Chain A
Amino acid sequence: MPNLMELKYQVSNEDFTRAGEASSDVKKKLKQLGVSPDVIRRVAIALYEGEINMVIHAYGGEITVTISEEQITMTLADRGPGIPDIDKAMQAGFSTAPDNVRNLGFGAGMGLPNMKKNSDTIDISTEIGVGTTVVMTINL
């Protein structure tokens, strides 16, 4: 099945104020395509949580979003420390975020559970010291 559209974004970890620009752009593009508001909302939430994680827990990376007739696939590949225990990281409330991140309004340990809740599939592959890749799909 050919993809109707592919979007790519480089995410930098240097400027926290810019975190979320990619997600915001994806949201706009989906609106232009006439995707249903419910799907847009789920994509926006899942992607933004993932983008923030790339910035606060890793050193940025790349986001690729592909849209086909059937689904939206979001791939977030970062260069970062990796996740030692994925099951633990998926638990609501588990966070290793430092105080400075919490002062910015994040680090409640809600992101990964929220990404799971809003997507139809989520797959995390991670290697310590190399990076983490999160792939989420949402059916259209």
Chain B
Amino acid sequence: MTVGEIKNLLDCEVITGEDLLDVEVRTACGSDMMSDVLAFAKTSCALLTGLCNPQVIRTADMMDIVCIIFVRGKKPDEAMIEMAKENNLPILSTGHRMFSACGLLYESGLRGGKMDA
């Protein structure tokens, strides 16, 4: 799945990264706890979250997350958008709630990746 397909499936507004819609997304992770994201996210992973603070962008940077999707219509501030631009990280915002957003992507074939032993 690509970032652009996620945008269409979830009716997202593209906050930044209009030029990165072709980027490939292999897995996804939905969490408001960055601790969990740091412990469990896989490579080429999209992050769905309802948490909206600069540490979300930082966590995404550290984990090489390929796309952030803010749920429930959350929107990042200018400073966060700047950070995302520096890291070539596309940010989308959807009106869907977490459960529905995850469900719609799952239904279209996106998975969470294998569990660690």
Contact = CB atoms under 8 A, between A and B. Distances in A.
A24 B35 contact: no
Contact of A19 (B38, B43, B55): B55
A52 B62 CA distance: 12
Given A17-B53, A105-B51, A110 B62 contact: no
A17 B79 CA distance: 10
A24 B61 contact: yes
Interface stretch (A4-12, A41-49, A60-68, A74-82): A41-49
B35 A17 contact: no
Range class of the A interface residue count: 20 to 34
Interface string B61-75: 111100000000000
B9 interface: no
17 contacts: A17-B53, A19-B55, A20-B61, A23-B62, A24-B61, A41-B43, A41-B63, A45-B63, A48-B38, A52-B55, A102-B33, A104-B55, A105-B55, A108-B35, A108-B36, A111-B38, A113-B39
B58 A108 contact: no
Interface of A: 16-17, 19-20, 23-24, 27, 37, 41, 44-45, 48-49, 52, 102, 104-111, 113-114
